[in-house]
Amino acid sequence: MTSIRIKNLTRTFDTVRAVDDISLDIKHGELFTLLGPSGCGKTTLLRMIAGFADVESGSISFDARRIDGLPAHRRDIGMVFQNYAIFPNHTVAGNVAYGLKARNVPAAEIKSRVDKALERVRLAGYGPRSPHQLSGGQLQRVAIARALVIEPAVLLFDEPLSNLDAQLRTEMRIEIRQLQQALGLTAIYVTHDQEEALAISDRIAVLRQGKVEQVDTPERIYRTPQTAFVAEFLGSTNMVPGIAGAFDGRNTHVAAAGTEFAVRGEIAPPGAPVLLSLRPEALRLGDGSDGPRIQAHLTLREFLGPMQRLHATLPDGTQIRISALGAQAFDVLPGASLALAYDPAQIKAFPSP
């Protein structure tokens, strides 16, 4: 297993700082995800680690060995690309064997290693087939097998599931995670898909405009975002502007959207503008629990099978969303008044921009 240290890494394109003084430490055997919107720098950062983009300043080390001055083929990495990069005129086995032939591995060893790699990705016996005979999910497995067969120290994934349909994406992300854990490989995974990042990562770095906004485990980054951008980008949340009021020793009372919210802790001095983040699942409808409540009016209910999404308005017309289990019965119609209970500790407050 290999650890990775990225120190003060920078890359500029014309006047755009695509990677802006980024430093990260990635642990042995960790699946570390770079998450962010298009143009945030995540793919440029991955390509710098892979050796496909030059390092303007800073350094990249695998364990104690600095590798940013090495050509890509000497960095001991395997990379899985977004578009698979499968050679159409080669068989499945020929595609998987490509990296081994480039490294002058003996023919007898190539066959055994290709067979083993295909078995790992559940494609045993598919070696003689042509790429056009395979489904999208099978092509992605071939790409993974080709990255694994060279037995790399580090595995890099660049949006590997973006060309697959929703159900296959879910299946493949589970397979990738299980395979990475079984082999104990250090992996860096690039995606813009928040659910994908939450599902498979040991830790996530959220990037914005070339900088790291936050690094943490999926649970902590979702439950305790450090910035309003992270709260809004990672999952769904209700963002409500307000004005901080008095602190009663336990909660700060915030006037927002024509009502009052209680937020755990002393979040800001009285009169300061704040932005509240409240996850839809943190709002509870008609559960009879103690604690603070807010009033809202139902505007729309979406039944989505395992869950329901309720759309409602607060007293001043601000729209919010509430999530509930699909099995929970609701006999209210649009326009009905809702009493929504919540835990003040689940509201996060940020300085208003």
Q: Are residues 256 and 215 in the same domain?
A: no
Domain final residue, candidates 230, 251, 280? 230
Q: Are residues 159 and 115 in the same domain?
A: yes
Q: Are residues 101 and 204 in the same domain?
A: yes
Q: Are residues 223 and 245 in the same domain?
A: no
pLDDT tens for each residue of 8-36: 999 999 889 999 999 999 999 999 999 99
Select from 279, 284, 282 the least CA-distant residue to 225. 279
Domain extent, residue 319, equals: 236-351
Q: How confident is the model at residue 1 (pLDDT cuts 50, 70, 90)?
A: confident
> Per-residue DSSP letters for 157-208?
EESTTTTS-HHHHHHHHHHHHHHHHHHT-EEEEEES-HHHHHHH-SEEEEEE
Q: Are residues 210 and 267 in the same domain?
A: no
pLDDT value, residue 202 = 98
Q: Are residues 258 and 335 in the same domain?
A: yes
Q: Are residues 258 and 223 in the same domain?
A: no
Q: Are residues 259 and 282 in the same domain?
A: yes
User: Does residue 289 surpass a pLDDT of 80?
Assistant: no
Q: How confident is the model at residue 129 (pLDDT cuts 50, 70, 90)?
A: very high
**Which position has the higher pLDDT, 327 or 105?**
105
* Three-class secondary structure of residue 303 per DSSP: strand
Q: Are residues 247 and 183 in the same domain?
A: no
Domain final residue, candidates 230, 263, 287? 230
Select from 216, 195, 190, 159 the least CA-distant residue to 34. 190
196-200, 211-215, 238-242, 323-327: the lowest-pLDDT one: 323-327
Alpha carbons 264 and 349: distance in angstroms, whole number: 9
* CATH number of the domain bearing residue 166: 3.40.50.300
Q: How confident is the model at residue 235 (pLDDT cuts 50, 70, 90)?
A: confident
Mean pLDDT of 58-62: 97
User: Does residue 303 surpass a pLDDT of 90?
Assistant: no
Mean pLDDT of 158-164: 89
Q: Are residues 325 and 249 in the same domain?
A: yes
Mean pLDDT of 169-185: 92
Mean pLDDT of 70-95: 92
Mean pLDDT, the chain, integer:
93
C-alpha pair distances (Å), 281 with each of 119, 155, 324 = 41, 35, 7
Q: Are residues 248 and 223 in the same domain?
A: no
User: Does residue 288 surpass a pLDDT of 70?
Assistant: no
Alpha carbons 57 and 55: distance in angstroms, whole number: 6
Domain final residue, candidates 184, 208, 230? 230
